[in-house]
A = this chain, B = another copy of it.
Amino acid sequence: MTGKPGKVTQREIARIAGVSQTTVSMVLNDRDGSNIRIPDATRERVRRAIEQSTYVADPAARRLAGLDNKILGVFTYESALTPESMDFYGPLLNGIERAAESLGCDLLFFTSSPVEEGRRRLFHRNTRLRLADGCVLLGQQMDGEDLERLVAESFPFVAVGRRDETDAPVPYVGIDYGSLTGRLLDRAVELGHEKVLYLHRDLNSPTARDRLSAIGRAPGALAVAPFAVGADLSDLPQVVARSGATAVFAEDAFLIEDAALVLGGAGAGLSLAALAEVRGHRIGGRALSGFHTPRQQVAAEALALLQQLISAPAEEHGGIEIQRLLQGEVAFGETLTVRGGAR
């Protein structure tokens, strides 16, 4: 597919301008140092030839010659553009697009990666990863081996969300769920709660662990019992009753919504909250209590960090803070209320 009829190369420009191809390259890249000095007249002649033509540099050739390409890879462990995934990926992708626009980068989505066990594989026979100057990784769970290999090959990348599944330090930008969780628990104490049930899926992700460990550090006045739920929530009313909890928290908004549904009238006196983004979620007409997380900003900062890693020589990476947690806000909402208060 190369060598198209309409394709203009530097050599062609050189011929027209009556200079060497090297000179064309110099002019195009504004090379103008001590040893190399191109008179304005020549420069002008080349410029004109380029403008008259439809020349654009071949990015593949540039890349091969060792330049970076202003192409950032985007790897998502699941499909990112389906209606369902928009809830999670939407703000992230939006942030990424905006950041890419302002950095002047194009985005390469690795949609071709073969799906195995429901998740895309980053490394495979024909990966085009190499075409990008670097890559952001998105997904709730990531493959530790992928991360290790990226580090080993010193391929610039940034994960969205905190990561801890590797020995080598992985660059990431995430949200500080630990601190958010702590603040929400403090609030629960203020409201008089002493026992809380915490529902979670059996997901082994760093953010899931962050929540759990913050729960482990709950203030003495509060006992929080973690409870791993399966697909079937039908025994939840009993579990809640037996626990004596006056509040039920869950890992995310959908889970607490499901729980509220199952609890029905039995949940009438309970406070509810999600330890995650709750924007747009309501339970029985009331704004769900939980967090507001700056996802768009996380994505934008991830891209900015990636750009830094790419452009800074490796020796200077020590000076860059490669692991960043952004602070969110507690969304007080209307479902976390005074203990025993009507819901």
Residues of A bordering B, CB below 8 Å: 1-7, 54, 56-61, 63-64, 66-71, 79-83, 86, 90, 93-94, 96-98, 100-101, 103-112, 115, 123, 125-131, 133, 149, 152-156, 310
Contacts and interface: CB of A to CB of B under 8 A. Distances in A.
Contacts of A107: 108-109, 111
A interface secondary structure, majority:
loop
Contacts of A7: 153
Contacts of A64: 2, 58, 60-61, 64
B106 A128 contact: yes
B97 A105 contact: no
Contacts of A82: 94, 97
Nearest to A104: B112
A109 B106 contact: yes
Contacts of A105: 111-112
Contact of A59 (B58, B81, B131): B131
A176 B204 CA distance: 49
Nearest to A61: B64
Contacts of A97: 79-82, 109, 111
A127 B66 contact: no
Nearest to A123: B56
B59 A128 contact: yes
